[in-house]
């Protein structure tokens, strides 16, 4: 989703402003991956990526970005790194990512002990949560937009909207392995272990209050997956500066919101370490409202928090082929 088309590619935008970009592509699990847990995604995904970047660009810190569940994993990694003193991170950016799941919106209608137990039984049989089951839950959260209006336009009126890159991406759903999805639902949604200081990495509990690097957090106004007031609780990470942006649009289109797209706007304000907490309703009343895309605001922030200037580009060893690369196609 970060690199769908030239005109709205966040990767192209960053590279065009002089940033070196590394990106993780999610593997679509099969029944053979049933025992991959949340810790495997953390260590073999996020942390392994940092090790790889460190080897390729020694001595450089990373401005790390995580989107949705990727942002939750990034916040876990950031807290864990504060324990082992590996100075990988210069800053973290969380896009539509929740760290406190106590008020996670309408999705909580599908998540209680009985529902999770039923899902675990289902995933135990097939080894993963099927993409159709996950997509169905998200469609129900916005049934007027994603179910009934589609039924009316397609089947009653015979009208079909032209396909766009975001629509194609949204239709290309993914699965989640049994162990990882069970960990996610129980440890984060049901028990809220991360925000409560009970989540363990390498046997040691971590706390988001340990994160000291600057944070840039983006929420979107009509997000039905990560409601903006839930994302806003990132302000309770008390030992770091937080630049918070509330952008127009939803979970996908509010993030992939390139400069020049008409009708876009966003609110922004900075919470400095030591400032008193401001509730979300008061925050939006006091925040600056700006027209256009939030991308330039973020790019300017990256420049402010990134000392050392530009780094000359280096040759890529072992080509992945034409975009999106063989890895994405699992070849």
The pLDDT tens digits for 1-40 are 999 999 999 999 999 998 989 998 888 888 999 999 999 9
- Let me know if 48 is a catalytic residue: no
pLDDT at 175: 85
What stretches of the chain show up as alpha helix (H) in DSSP?
10-16, 38-40, 48-56, 69-84, 113-126, 131-141, 143, 149-151, 165-171, 178-183, 193-196, 228-231, 280-286, 295-305
Give the pLDDT mean for 191-220: 94
What percent of the chain clears pLDDT 90, i.e. is strictly above it?
56
Query: How is residue 82 written in tokens?
Result: 């504060």
d(CA 61, CA 64): 9
What contacts 119, CB < 8 A, 6 or more positions away? 129, 181, 182, 185
- Give the three-state DSSP class for 38: helix
d(CA 107, CA 202): 30
Is the pTM above the cut of 0.85? yes
- Print burial letters for 278-312: b (CB count within 10 Å at least 16), e (below 16): bebeebbeebeeeebbbbebbbebbeebbeeeeee
210, 84 in Cβ contact below 8 A?
no
The pLDDT tens digits for 278-305 are 999 999 999 999 999 999 999 999 999 9
- Catalytic residue, candidates 62, 68, 97, 194: 68
The pLDDT tens digits for 85-137 are 567 899 999 999 999 998 887 777 777 888 888 788 878 888 887 766 665 55
């Amino acid at each position: 989703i970060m690199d769908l088309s030239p005109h709205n590619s966040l990767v192209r935008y960053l590279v065009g402003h002089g940033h070196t970009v590394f990106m993780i592509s999610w593997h679509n699990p099969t029944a053979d991956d049933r025992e991959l847990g949340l810790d495997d995604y953390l260590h073999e995904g996020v942390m392994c990526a940092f090790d790889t970047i460190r080897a390729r660009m020694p001595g450089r810190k990373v401005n790390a970005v995580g989107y949705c569940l990727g942002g939750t994993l990034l916040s876990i990694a950031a807290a864990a790194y504060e324990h082992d003193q590996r100075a990988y991170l210069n800053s973290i950016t969380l896009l539509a990512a929740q760290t406190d799941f106590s008020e996670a919106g309408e999705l909580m209608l599908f998540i209680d002990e009985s529902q999770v137990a039923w899902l675990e039984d289902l995933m135990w049989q097939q080894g993963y949560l099927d993409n159709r089951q996950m997509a169905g839950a998200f469609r129900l959260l916005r049934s007027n937009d994603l179910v009934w209006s589609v039924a009316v336009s397609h089947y009653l009126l015979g009208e079909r909207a032209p396909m766009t890159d975001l629509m194609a991406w949204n239709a290309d759903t993914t699965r989640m392995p049994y162990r990882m999805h069970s960990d996610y639902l129980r440890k984060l949604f049901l028990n809220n272990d991360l925000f409560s200081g009970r989540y363990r990495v390498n046997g040691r509990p971590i706390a988001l209050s340990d994160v000291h690097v600057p944070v840039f957090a983006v929420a979107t106004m009509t997000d039905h997956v990560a409601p903006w007031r839930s994302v806003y609780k990132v302000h309770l990470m008390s030992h770091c500066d937080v630049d918070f942006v509330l952008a127009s649009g939803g979970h996908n289109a509010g993030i992939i919101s390139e400069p020049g797209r008409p009708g876009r706007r966003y609110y922004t304000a900075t919470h400095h370490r030591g400032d008193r907490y401001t509730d979300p309703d008061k925050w939006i009343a006091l925040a600056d409202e700006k027209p256009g895309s939030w991308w330039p605001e973020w790019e300017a922030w990256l420049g402010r928090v990134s000392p050392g200037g530009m780094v000359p580009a280096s040759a890529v060893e072992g080509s992945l082929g034409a975009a999106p690369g063989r890895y994405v196609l699992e070849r």
